[in-house]
Amino acid sequence: MNIDLSGKTALVTGSTQGIGFAIAKGLAGAGARVVVNGRNRDRVDDAVAGLDGDVVGVAADVADADGAQAVYDEVPVVDILVNNLGIFGAVPAREITDEQWRTYFDVNVLSAARLIRLYLPGMVERGWGRVLQIASDSAVVTPAEMIHYGVSKTALLALSRGFAKDASGSGVTVNSVIAGPTHTAGVEDFVYQLVDKSLPWDEAQREFMRLHRPQSLLERLIEPEEIANMVVYLASPFASATTGGALRVDGGYVDAILP
């Protein structure tokens, strides 16, 4: 399958590292003009320098309304919007504060809602567009150690489904990608919150999967490029009949027949 995104502009939020960086790399490799986004200018510049193709950077905090508007003002035409920005962390359920609930909702949900609100009208007017939210297996299998994160990702699935209905018949598709446990620097830190910090990484990863993600059929963490492959496909013309969906790249973690 030869995916050609030449002539398309893609914005990937939270793309200076991890899954977002892999997605930016994948889209650029398919020929898209890619806008890398993050809060820190130096990290954005470093990410842009690490990618080949037509890549530019915009430093702004899209979890803030002014930051989202700043991105839109700098890049007003986007054909492919990938809402990847997200935060996570382990907190005992009864210790999650109101402030933490608000922060997770602002970053993981409202950042996506704001950017969809800004960019969807142009996509609909042009008759083509792709809007993708990077969700998580935690949206379906709520983790006891971070229910605030799980709730925010569940909300993201509903957000995607709702905006897919809003874009009905327009040529714009809106989907979520349910990413399973993925190997990123942030996840390495998270793993070591839950297993013995003295363990070498390979042993720590196996112990984490055995104790905390035993449902995984891969029995390993997913690599960011494997998430990016699904995103590149969904961003392409080949996925024109896929909308309103929650597509799983979870290593079989979610124990369900239907998506």
Could you tell me the two tokens for 139?
A: 């949206």
Residue pair 136/178 in contact (Cβ under 8 Å)? The answer is yes
In angstroms, the CA 97 to CA 119 distance is 33
Give the tens place of pLDDT for each residue, 71-80.
Answer: 999 999 999 9
Neighbours of 41 (CB within 10 A): 12
What's the Rg (C-alpha) of the chain? 18
Residue pair 132/231 in contact (Cβ under 8 Å)? The answer is yes
Check 149, 192, 233, 253 and give the catalytic one. Answer: 149
Q: Which CATH superfamily is domain 9-182+222-249 in?
A: NAD(P)-binding Rossmann-like Domain (3.40.50.720)
User: What pLDDT was estimated at residue 31?
Assistant: 98
User: What pLDDT was estimated at residue 219?
Assistant: 86
- Measure the N-to-C terminal CA separation of the chain; round to a whole number of Å: 23
H/E element holding 195?
none
pLDDT < 50 stretches in the chain: none
Write out the E strands in the chain.
9-12, 33-38, 55-59, 80-83, 129-136, 172-179, 246-249
Give the tens place of pLDDT for each residue, 198-233.
Answer: 999 999 998 999 998 899 999 889 999 999 999 999
User: What pLDDT was estimated at residue 210?
Assistant: 93
User: What pLDDT was estimated at residue 250?
Assistant: 96
Residue pair 164/244 in contact (Cβ under 8 Å)? The answer is yes
Residue reference for tokens 């809060």: 39
Neighbours of 219 (CB within 10 A): 12
Residue reference for tokens 């990077």: 134
Could you tell me the two tokens for 180?
A: 């399973």
Residue pair 107/156 in contact (Cβ under 8 Å)? The answer is no
- Does residue 149 have an active-site annotation? yes
CA distances, 238 to each of 3, 30, 120, 130 (Å): 8, 13, 20, 12
This model's pTM is above 0.85? yes
- Residue boundaries of the structural domains of the chain: 9-182+222-249
Q: Which 8-state DSSP code applies to residue 106?
A: I
Determine the 3-state secondary structure of 187 from DSSP: helix
Could you tell me the two tokens for 237?
A: 């013309």
User: What pLDDT was estimated at residue 1?
Assistant: 83
Q: Which 8-state DSSP code applies to residue 108?
A: I
In angstroms, the CA 112 to CA 132 distance is 9
